[in-house]
Chain A
Amino acid sequence: MITPVIFIILCLAIIITAVLSLYFKDLVACVVSYSVLSLVLTVVYFYLDAPDVAIAEAAIGAALTICIFIIAIILTRRHEE
Chain B
Amino acid sequence: MKLGSLLSLVLILGFLFVAVLRLHPVGQPLGHPGVMKDRGSAVTDTANIFTMDDYYIRNGQAETGSNNIVASVVFDYRGFDTLGEATVLFLVVSSISMLMYTILKQKKIKKDHFFKIYNFPTDISRIISFGPYLLYPIIIIFGAYLVAHGHLSPGGGFQGGAVMASGTALLLISSLFTIHIQRVRRVFSFFESLGLAIYIGLGFAGIGTSFLHNFLAQGNPLFLGRAIPFGPNPGYLNSAGLLPLLSLAIGIEVFFGISVILVTMYHVAMDGDIKDAQES
Instruction: Please report which residues of chain A, range 55-81, place their CB below 8 angstroms from some CB of chain B when the two chains form the complex.
Output: 55-56, 59-60, 63-64, 67-68, 71-72, 74-79
Q: By the criterion CB–CB under 8 Å, are A75 and B277 in contact?
A: yes
Knowing A68-B262, A74-B274, A78-B280 touch, does A59 contact B162 (C-beta < 8 A)?
A: yes
User: Roughly how many angstroms separate A54 CA and B70 CA in the complex, as a whole number?
Assistant: 13
Q: By the criterion CB–CB under 8 Å, are B169 and A78 in contact?
A: no
Q: By the criterion CB–CB under 8 Å, are B71 and A52 in contact?
A: yes
The A-B contact count (CB < 8 A) is 61
Is chain A's interface secondary structure helix, strand, loop, or mixed overall? helix
B246 contacts the other chain (CB 8 A): no
Q: By the criterion CB–CB under 8 Å, are A56 and B274 in contact?
A: no
Q: By the criterion CB–CB under 8 Å, are B155 and A52 in contact?
A: yes
Q: By the criterion CB–CB under 8 Å, are B265 and A68 in contact?
A: yes
B5 contacts the other chain (CB 8 A): no
Q: By the criterion CB–CB under 8 Å, are A64 and B269 in contact?
A: no
* A81 CB, min distance to chain B CBs, angstroms: 10
* B4 CB, min distance to chain A CBs, angstroms: 21
Q: Which residues of B contact A (CB under 8 A)?
A: 68, 70-71, 146, 154-156, 158-159, 162-163, 165-166, 169, 172, 258, 261-262, 265-266, 268-269, 274, 277-280
Can you show 7 pairs from A to B with CB atoms below 8 A apart? A52-B70, A52-B156, A64-B165, A64-B169, A71-B265, A74-B278, A79-B280
